[in-house]
């Protein structure tokens, strides 16, 4: 089977669309209104503004990679995009655990990483079946 015959499994496509929608919301939150997710957040200092805004840009970059992979229907590109997201989610989860302990945010990040691992395993199966 040629590379052009590789397709992203439908459940992974649906999950990716959900990631795009949720990611768009969180891109907005981090960039423009962090108080929605972080009640004590303020943007009174330059470092706080840069920190939240750069997180929003990081999310936007990840969304762009997911979107391109989905539109191209390329499981290899989506595989790589999700691997990088897993590293980010796990890293953010560890930072959250160290700083705040188990909160809804850290729990959500770890669940999200688990779902992304599920998607990566589905994509890996497609990639290995169709070298």
Per residue in 9-66, pLDDT tens?
Answer: 999 999 999 999 999 999 999 888 888 877 788 888 899 889 999 999 999 999 999 9
Helical H runs in 33-130? 46-72, 75-100, 104-129
pTM: 0.86
How confident is the model at residue 34, as a pLDDT?
A: 87
Tell me how far apart the alpha carbons of residues 73 and 91 are, in angstroms, rounded to a whole number. 28
In the chain the first and final C-alpha atoms are separated, in Å, by: 7
How confident is the model at residue 6, as a pLDDT?
A: 87
Query: Are the C-beta atoms of residues 118 and 9 closer than 8 Å to each other?
Result: no
What rounded mean pLDDT belongs to the chain? 90
Q: What is the pLDDT of residues 77-117, one digit of tens each?
A: 999 999 999 999 999 899 989 988 888 888 988 999 999 99
* Crossing angle of the two packed helices 46-72 and 75-100, in degrees rounded to 10: 150
Q: Show me where the domains of the chain are located.
A: 8-129
Rg for the chain, CA atoms, rounded: 16
């Amino acid at each position: 089977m040629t590379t052009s015959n590789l397709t992203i499994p439908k459940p992974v496509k649906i999950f990716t669309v959900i990631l795009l929608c949720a990611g768009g919301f969180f891109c907005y939150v981090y960039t423009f209104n962090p108080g929605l997710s972080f009640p004590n957040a303020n943007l009174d200092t330059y470092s706080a503004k840069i920190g939240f805004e750069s997180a929003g840009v990081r999310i936007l970059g990840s969304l762009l990679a997911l979107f391109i992979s989905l539109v191209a229907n390329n499981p290899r590109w989506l595989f790589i995009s999700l691997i990088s997201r897993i590293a980010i989610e796990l890293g953010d989860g560890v930072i959250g655990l160290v700083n705040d302990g188990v909160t809804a945010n850290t729990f959500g990040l770890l669940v999200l990483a688990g779902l992304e691992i599920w998607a990566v395993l589905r994509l890996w199966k497609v990639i290995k079946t169709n070298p």
